[in-house]
Amino acid sequence: MEFQFHPKFYHLLCLFILFHQSFRAQAANFRYCADVNYAVKVSEVEITPNPVVRARPTTFKISAVTGEAIFGGKWVIKVSYIGILVHQEVHNLCEEVSCPVTAGDFVVAHTQKLPVFAPPGSYTVEMKLKNEENEPLTCITFKLKIGFGSSVSEI
């Protein structure tokens, strides 16, 4: 006698997987750094996983739209903890996205591991996109949470 799962079981399993994934990749609330009409408009910031787990890969995905082509520039990331700048890095935009970026929708994504010694809690991230002349194309800030459950033993 062969055991088979009922077809509804597979539907429930698929729904559970989708529901579970929705908690792992969540859109973050963001705001612009200043009341400026930036050339690049951000539509969504997604952090996976959310909350972040120390010493594990975290992906930041920024969905945006531009009215004209972008031929190069840089992506500047600053991270603050309780108001103190704790990390800063600069990336060549064309290493993060295929250049030139044509007018319309585009996505910039970056994956990295946060240090194992990062204290749990809420961080503020500022991301600036600048063109080849170092002029700001956009600037946003959002909160990043490092969970309390992550530890050295999880590495």
What digits encode the pLDDT tens for the residues 136-153? 999 999 998 988 654 433
* 45 vs 115, residue with greater confidence: 45
Q: Which tokens in the block code for residue 13?
A: 């399993």
Q: 155 and 54 in contact (C-beta within 8 Å)? A: no
What three-state secondary structure class fits 14?
helix
64 with 30: CB under 8 angstroms?
Answer: no
Q: How far apart are CA 94 and CA 30, in angstroms?
A: 23
> What is the model's pLDDT at position 113?
85
pLDDT in tens, 46-85: 999 988 888 889 999 999 999 999 999 999 999 999 999 9
Q: How would residue 26 be classed by pLDDT, with cut points 50, 70 and 90?
A: low
Cα–Cα dist 150/115, whole Å? 11
Chain segment 87-109, per-residue pLDDT in tens: 999 999 999 899 999 999 999 98
Task: Of 9-13, 74-78, 111-115, give the range with the top mean pLDDT.
Answer: 74-78
**CA dist list (Å): 24 to 48, 61, 142:** 6, 13, 17
Contact between 144 and 28 (Cβ < 8 Å)? yes
What's the confidence (pLDDT) of residue 55?
Answer: 85
Q: What is the pTM of this model?
A: 0.75
Which position has the token pair 């961080």? 123
The CATH number of 24-154 is 2.60.40.770
